[in-house]
Every structure is written in structure tokens, then in C-alpha cells.
Structure 1
Amino acid sequence: MDRFWTLMSFLHSLAGPLIMLLYPLYASVMAIESTSKVDDEQWLAYWILYSFLSLMEMLFQPILEWIPIWYDVKLALVVWLVMPQFRGAAFIYERFVREKIRKYGRLGGGGTTTGHHHKSSSPNVNLKNKFVDFMAHKKGEHEDS
């Protein structure tokens, strides 16, 4: 019986990297090679959400260490994000992330063009736009201010 639990423990610890990294890496490459835009959106949304989840996990690690089932909850969430039947990553992105970007940022037709600053009610958006404009300038171009 001890060997069974050892095997189960090994499979459990192996499931995370397989589900969270290996399969999404493979699926992302396949999405890039396909002509469909739907799978591209799913996997780009997955990597955005996985990065955010990893960052939050790093920030809240002292708290999460006290939650014994955290790894299992995270694994279940990532399974939902990854499974093509659910398209969870695309759903979360469409439902929540895109809404926040539209509300606080600029999305769809309101993009930044190099050298042009648009008025915005949010100072964070202006700062972001200035950074994007700064990064977009080519060598030798100087901003007239």
C-alpha cells in the first residue's frame, strides 16, 4: 500500500507541470501553426492569466502556505483554463480582463500611435502611453517638448 501512495504522490506532483506548462506549451505552438485565430486567443489568454496567477501566488505565498489544499485548487483552476472543452482562459479574459482594459485603458480603435498623446481621465493610462511612445521611438528621433 505504501508503494501505491508513493506512486499517487509522484503523479500528483507531476500533474502540475504537465497541465500548467507542458501541455500549454505544446498547444501554443500548435495554435501558432494553425490558421485559426480562436486558438491563438485561448492560449495567449492562458499565458496572461497563468502569469498573473503565478505573480499573485508569489506575493501571497506566506498566506497560501497555510491553506493545505491550495495546490489542488490551483491545479483544478488551471485544468479549467486549459481544457479545450471549457476554453476557460478565453472566457476569463473576455469576461473580466477585457472589460477592465476597456474601462481603465484603451482597447479597440483607441490605440496609441507613436508621437501622439491622447487625453485620458486616468494618470496611469497617460503614464503607460508615454512609456509606450518612448519605447516606440526609433534611434535618432527626439520628442519635441
Structure 2
Amino acid sequence: MDFNSIQAQIQGAFNSIDLNTQNFKSLDAFESKTRLPRSYAVVGAGATYLLLIFLNIGGIGELLSNLAGFAYPCYLSLRALKTSGSKDDTRLLTYWVVFASLNIIEFWSGAILYWVPAYFLFKTLFLIYLASPATNGAEVVFTVFIKPFADKLVTEGIQGPADSLMDKVQDKME
């Protein structure tokens, strides 16, 4: 791969950003004031976001990382609630199961994980991988790590341990 093809791919990505952000008025203002393409503002904001996560000054990295793992999937979930098909619902439910599992693991191992350099940057990139429909990362993580445990707890048509526990809790509530 030579430099010209790399440059063409980068320019294509910038052009794609310009086309996909035509409806953002703030980017129109950026373009008119700076005479730079709107893609520069988008890439600059993304780089600044990742830099703030990497630096984690005052704990902002943790907040921004969790926001990256929550905001876009939440938007996709709200859109999925308006569709009649179930394919996007299943993909998003899988994401939320993986996201919740990661939060539980992070809670119990947080004291160790926070000592890992650039932990929140890696976490953010991993959450983006999980949430992206292009990578289907949540499905991969679910199938490899969570499904073996889930199959032992939740069985279709048969009362599993989780079902009987929930039944007991519901009986006590009534």
C-alpha cells in the first residue's frame, strides 16, 4: 500500500463525514467561520474526546468512557423500539447484557483496573467495538464469554435456578 492510496482512503473518509453531517447547523457555522471542511471539526472533536479520556483529569475519562458506552446504544435502542422487526432488538439486548456484565466486572475489579495505563481509553474503544453494528462485537463477546454461563442459569421451557429464585422473590412480594 503506497502513500497515495492511504491519502485517498483518508480523503474518502473525510468526504463521507462531510456528507453525513449535512444536517448539523453548528458545523455549518464552523465551515463558514473557518473556511475548513466540517469533517475537520468532527475529527478534532473526536480526537479531543479521546485525549480527555486518556488523560482522565479529575475522573472525566471515566465519565466520558461510560457516556460513549451508553449514549449511542441508547439512541439505537430508542430507534429500535419504533421498528416492527426484532433483529435490531436482539442485537441491542445482547449489547446491554454485555455492557451490564462489563460494569459488574469493572465494579469488582476496579481497584486493579484503574492502575492500568490508559484503561479508560481502551475501555472506550472496546465499548465502541461492542456497540458498532459493523463489528457486531457484543454478539462475539456474548457468545464466547457470557452464553456458557447464561445457558446454565436460563433454560428455555424448563425452570432453571434463576427462574425458581425469581418465583420465590415474587411470592414473597405478594
TM-score (norm 2): 0.57
Given the alignment of the two structures, is residue 86 of structure 1 paired with residue 135 of structure 2, yes or no? yes
Give the Å deviation of 1:54. Answer: 1.5
Give the Å deviation of 1:36. Answer: 2.1
Given the alignment of the two structures, is residue 107 of structure 1 paired with residue 155 of structure 2, yes or no? yes
Give the Å deviation of 1:106. Answer: 3.4
1:96, 1:10 → 2: CA distance? 30
Given the alignment of the two structures, is residue 29 of structure 1 paired with residue 63 of structure 2, yes or no? no
Asked if the contact 1:41/1:90 (under 8 Å) is kept, the reply is no
Q: How many residues are aligned here? A: 120
Residue 21 of structure 1 aligns with an amino acid whose one-letter code is: F
Which aligned segments of 4 or more residues in structure 1 are displaced greater than 4 angstroms? 10-15
Given the alignment of the two structures, is residue 133 of structure 1 paired with residue 167 of structure 2, yes or no? yes
Paired position in structure 2 for 1:63: 112
| Structure 1 residues 66 and 34: alpha-carbon distance in aligned structure 2, compared to 1, 3 A threshold | same
Percent identity, aligned pairs only?
Answer: 22
Question: How well do the aligned residues superpose, as a CA RMSD in angstroms?
Answer: 2.9
Residue 135 of structure 1 aligns with an amino acid whose one-letter code is: V
| Structure 1 residues 33 and 19: alpha-carbon distance in aligned structure 2, compared to 1, 3 A threshold | same
1:52-108: CA deviation from partner (whole Å, max 9, x where unpaired): 212221211221122112112111211110101111112322343223222x22322
Asked if the contact 2:66/2:124 (under 8 Å) is kept, the reply is no
Residue 146 of structure 2 aligns with an amino acid whose one-letter code is: V
Residue 165 of structure 2 aligns with an amino acid whose one-letter code is: F
2:64, 2:102 → 1: CA distance? 17
Given the alignment of the two structures, is residue 46 of structure 1 paired with residue 110 of structure 2, yes or no? no
| Structure 1 residues 94 and 64: alpha-carbon distance in aligned structure 2, compared to 1, 3 A threshold | closer
Unaligned runs of 5+ in 2: 1-43, 55-60
Larger % of helix: which?
A: 2
2:85, 2:79 → 1: CA distance? 10
Asked if the contact 2:95/2:130 (under 8 Å) is kept, the reply is yes
Paired position in structure 2 for 1:121: none
TM-score (norm 1): 0.67
Residue 107 of structure 1 aligns with an amino acid whose one-letter code is: T
